[in-house]
A and B are shown apart, each in its own frame.
Chain A
């Protein structure tokens, strides 16, 4: 049973471990930084988007409710259009692709995408939230 090995080799061991730790921390920081750059999308509200459209990044995440009576579904082209609202402002949204099962008028949705030239929101991703507060899982839009 050796207690702390004496002197020189203990010092060198500490150095190795310290160096290794620093290396790992730096690598992790580098990875995290890169990951954030790759994955970050900004949350905005409908109101903010209407006001500050040009100054926001091109890809944002928008949360709101599907306004009643505004859902149009073109089955042949799988083209969905509706109006999203945060209670005060509204914004038309366009989306092509598979619509999640939970999507319906009055439901909360989250869309990712950007403002198009005509002022409507072009959504690349559409997520719908379940109305119950505690939901063990979030139905996700198909990837």
Chain B
């Protein structure tokens, strides 16, 4: 009884594991999606940094001068990330899908 279960399990495992090798699919070019994932992450980090920066300033931890200087640098970084993401998304048409959803800062 145990031997039967064992054999069945073993066969199932072997079949399950080796099956993909028979369906020889071409490895999709993962490069693009990797790049996109990385840029999305970069964008999120940049935006979060901007938001934190404005919160820090609003709660009185930075002087106005410091805030202005840092904010413009951070905005430039955010724009850069957005631009590169847009370029990846729609290289031919040059359309910027993100532009439509601008909202005032928190």
Contact = CB atoms under 8 A, between A and B. Distances in A.
Interface of A: 1
Interface of B: 73, 76-77
Contacts of B77: 1
Contacts of B76: 1
- The secondary structure that dominates the B interface is helix
Contacts of B73: 1
Contacts of A1: 73, 76-77
A64 B73 CA distance: 68
A4 to B, nearest CB: 16
A1 B69 CA distance: 10
3 contacts: A1-B73, A1-B76, A1-B77
B32 to A, nearest CB: 27
A18 B99 CA distance: 47
A35 B73 CA distance: 49
Nearest to B77: A1
